[in-house]
Structure 1
Amino acid sequence: MPRDTPYLKVADALRARIRAGDWAVGDKLPSRARIAEEYGVGQSVAQRAMERLIIEGILEGRTGSGTYVRRARVRRRMVRSRQREQHGKSPFASAMKELDHEADWECTSTARVPASEDIAERLAIEPGDLCVVTDYEFLADGLPVQLAKSWEPMAITDGTPVLLPEMGPLGKLGVVERMRSIDVNIATGIELPRPARATREQANLLGISVGDLVIEIERTYFDRDGRPVETANITVPDIRWEIAYEIRVDQPDS
């Protein structure tokens, strides 16, 4: 986009002033009307410029208060790898341990939930077929890291000790270990990441602002016959984490 676009020119000027120290972290910026007057633009242009810097993570808006300089982003790398599903414990716990974080999570499971059309398509079942749905909030050192919602067909787990994912003898060990215990061997998984903006509910749970960039990961696990056995939506706040995928390359026999 050309840099002579008015709102981009104002955004560039504000960004430069913040970097020069005209406003420190936590300082409140002048009102939209004052910025518009100072740069000789309309208030809508000033608003777009400030929204641009909010998206970039330089500013933050506080409802009923104004716009403030935001603390610089500190982002960690979250490595997603199929190998972490084979460690005999939660892949999330394994990932956080590598980063010297204490992992924990809270969850709520509901059985006998009819599958919606989109979930039925992902699980290769009929709409209305019953599932166990589990909502997760994952924590590192007591702070929220990611959210997840998973669906498992009750036709697979009903009547087994692993019907509810986080209860029973294999609770908190992850879906791979749980399914293996009832002779359902997960062989492959597909993850589809997409950028999105945080909803109010997601923002409240993750401790971020409404509209902040998040990564939505649609994950589905398949058994050796290619049957989907679990699907999940995972939400990671982009302001705190970047997603990296580890790819294992099999070596030829020597």
Structure 2
Amino acid sequence: MTREESDRTGYREVAARIRADVAAGVWPTGRPIPGIDRLKDRYDVARQTANRAVQHLVSEGLLYSEGRRGTFIRPAAPARTLARDHHVRRDAQGYFFGPHASDWRGVGPATQEVGLAPADAAELLGVPAGEPVLIRERAVAPPDASHPWQLATSYLPMALVDQVPVLGAAETGPGGVYDRIEEHFGAAIAWEETVGARPANDHEQQQLRIGAGLPVLVITRVSRVGEQVVEVNCTRMSADRFAVTYPVARDEETARWPRGDGRGQ
């Protein structure tokens, strides 16, 4: 086997050795692993092989890159995934979706800006393509987390923001934007969520500290007052940390119990 062939096939063996060193605690979580030149010397391989092994582990999700800061070991996922159910809850800070999130906090400042929504969000919001909307961005995590666990982006129509200017403020008061919207309309908001998944983009990989090979769970929430869509929210989280849970109800016509055929009476 030539050196070139060895480099092409040997990166998986090097990746396995790096993985074993990570498992053994050779390098601490939260600090960068050695650079490529040190890795090639440690494992006695070509620089290209060492680099390819690291990229393989990034795509696998064991490592994540922070650009010039280096490549880091991704913290282990919790023993169990954190479930989101079909209930919305409210406290003095605002609304939260999922029973685990009652004590979560913002990581870094939330942002508000006028810009363009992605085509799918604009369509749900009912605004023409190219029409500006208010975009609110927020990252949240448990109190002891070192980085965001969820990224949430809200899109609100400018016609509504013009009527309720506080929606564009950094601080929207108790209950957040949902309370302000309900106060404006004098009616309750109803929510509908769609759950999907897709590859994480560069921003999500950096913020959530996940490799390119890990997908994000995407929950798109549409907020309505009556028939009017007042907000579209896109929440993203690492798919290996979260699950969606809900009760399964019997259809009263086709799966009722006792059955109408005389069995199970």
Range class of TM-score, shorter chain: 0.5 to 0.7
Quote the residue 2:53 is aligned against: 49
Code of the residue aligned with 2:101 in structure 1: it is M
Comparing 44-53 with 113-122, greater Cα deviation is found at 113-122
User: Quick one: distance in 2 between partners of 1:219 and 1:45?
Assistant: 40
Cα pair 2:83 2:243 within 8 Å, conserved: yes
SS in 2 for 1:120: helix
Q: CA deviation at 1:245?
A: 0.5
User: 1:65-106: per-residue Cα shift (whole Å, max 9, x none)?
Assistant: 8767x37514363322331x2556521584323xxxx32234
Compared with structure 1, are the counterparts of its residues 124 and 5 closer, same or farther at alpha carbon in structure 2 (3 Å cutoff)?
farther
Q: 1:96 corresponds to which residue?
A: 101
1:149 matches 2:153: yes
Of 163-172 and 228-237, more deviation after overlay is shown by 163-172
Give the letter for the 2:136 counterpart.
T
Q: Distance in 1 between matches of 2:195 and 2:169?
A: 20
Structure 1 residue ranges without an equivalent (≥5): none
- Are 1:79 and 1:243, in contact at CA under 8 Å, matched by a contact in 2? yes
Give 1:43-82 correspondences, 5 Å limit.
43-59=47-63, 70=73, 72-75=75-78, 77-82=81-86
Q: Which has the higher strand share?
A: 1
TM-score normalised by L of structure 2: 0.64
What is the rounded CA distance, in whole Å, between the counterparts of 1:221 and 1:15 in structure 2? 42
* 2:26 equivalent in structure 1: 23
Deviation at 1:158, TM superposition (A): 3.8
Alignment-derived partner of residue 230 in structure 1: 231
User: For 1:165 and 1:81, how far apart are their aligned partners in 2?
Assistant: 30
Aligned length: 232
- Deviations 1:111-164 (Å, cap 9, x if unpaired)? xx3544614223222124342221212243164332222101133454247634
Decide which of 121, 124, 131 is 1:122's aligned counterpart.
124
Give the distance between the partners of 2:167 and 2:25, measured in 1 at CA. Answer: 58
Correspondent of 1:131 among 116, 129, 133: 133
CA distance in structure 2 between the partners assigned to 1:185 and 1:62 by the alignment? 39
Match of 2:218? Answer: 217
SS in 1 for 2:100: helix
Take 2:111 and 2:25, find their aligned partners in 1: how far apart are those partners? 47
Query: Are the equivalent residues in 1 in contact too, given 2:81–2:242 (CA < 8 A)?
Result: yes
Change in Cα spacing, 1:213 to 1:224, as seen in structure 2 (3 Å) is same
CA distance in 2 between counterparts of 1:61 and 1:116 reads: 28
Structure 2: segments with no counterpart, 5+ residues: 1-7, 258-265
RMSD of the alignment, in Å? Answer: 4.2
- Residues 64 and 170 of structure 1: CA distance in aligned 2, closer, same or farther (over 3 Å): closer
Q: In the alignment, what sits opposite 1:108? A: 111
Q: TM-score, normalised by structure 1?
A: 0.66
Partner SS, residue 200 of structure 2: strand
Aligned-partner Cα distance in 2 for 1:17–1:167: 46
